[in-house]
C-alpha cells in the first residue's frame, strides 16, 4: 500500500480543519506551495468589510501590522498541521516570540497579501519561522517568530 501524498495546497475548508481560528480572526484564505517542514505561501484577500478597518482608520483604512504578523503565523500553523499530519486533531498554536518585525508598505483593502513562511527550526513542539508578507511582489512586512504547537485530543 502506498502512502498518501502530503497536501501541497490548503483551501478554506482544510485550513479550518488545521487551525481553530474563525471569523473575524481567520486571516488566511488559502495556502499554496506547501513543502512539508520547509515552506508555504498563504493568501489573504484584504477587503473593506473587515472589522478592524472601522477603527484603523475610518478615513484611510490600513491593515494593522500585528494582524499581518498574525496572518503569517496562521500560515505557518497550516504548514505545521500538514507537516505533522494533524489535520482535524485540535492543533493550537501559541506565539512565544516575535523578532525583527519590520513594516515597509501599507496594506489596504483590495490588496492580495502573499504570506511567505519558512521553517527555520521545527519538527517538535517548538517551531521557529521566518515570514515575509508581500503585495504585488513588494515587501509589506517581515518578522521571525517562534511558536509552540499544542495538540489537544
CB 20 within 8 A of CB 90: yes
Q: In which band, very low, low, confident or very high, does the pLDDT at 124 lie, cut at 50, 70 and 90?
A: confident
Write the DSSP assignment of 76-122 as a string of letters: HHHHHHHHTT-TTS-EEEEEEEEEEEEE-S---TT-EEEEEEEEEE-
Beta strands in 16-69 (DSSP E): 30-35, 39-45
pTM of the model: 0.95
pLDDT confidence of residue 2: 43
Identify the DSSP state of 51: G
Residues 6+ apart with CB under 8 A from 45: 29, 112, 113
CATH of domain 12-151: 3.10.129.10
CB 28 within 8 A of CB 43: yes
C-alpha angle with apex 74: 65 to 101, nearest 5 degrees?
35
Instruction: Give the pLDDT confidence of 46-97 residue by residue, as tens digits.
Output: 999 999 999 999 999 999 999 999 999 999 999 999 999 999 998 898 999 9
Q: Which of 21, 52, 56, 116 is catalytic?
A: 56
- Determine the length of the chain: 153
56 is catalytic: yes
Amino acid at each position: 500500500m502506498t502512502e498518501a501524498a502530503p497536501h501541497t495546497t490548503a483551501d478554506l475548508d482544510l485550513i479550518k480543519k488545521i487551525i481553530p481560528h474563525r471569523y473575524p480572526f481567520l486571516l488566511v484564505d488559502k495556502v499554496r506551495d506547501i513543502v512539508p517542514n520547509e515552506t508555504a505561501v498563504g493568501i489573504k484577500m484584504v477587503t473593506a468589510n473587515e472589522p478592524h478597518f472601522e477603527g484603523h482608520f475610518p478615513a484611510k483604512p490600513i491593515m494593522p501590522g500585528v494582524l499581518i504578523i498574525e496572518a503569517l503565523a496562521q500560515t505557518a500553523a497550516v504548514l505545521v498541521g500538514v507537516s505533522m499530519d494533524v489535520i482535524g486533531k485540535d492543533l493550537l498554536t501559541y506565539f512565544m516570540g516575535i523578532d525583527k518585525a519590520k513594516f515597509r508598505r501599507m496594506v489596504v483593502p483590495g490588496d492580495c497579501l502573499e504570506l511567505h513562511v519558512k521553517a527555520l527550526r521545527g519538527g517538535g513542539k517548538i517551531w521557529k519561522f521566518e515570514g515575509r508578507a508581500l503585495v504585488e511582489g513588494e515587501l509589506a512586512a517581515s518578522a521571525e517568530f517562534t511558536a509552540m504547537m499544542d495538540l489537544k485530543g
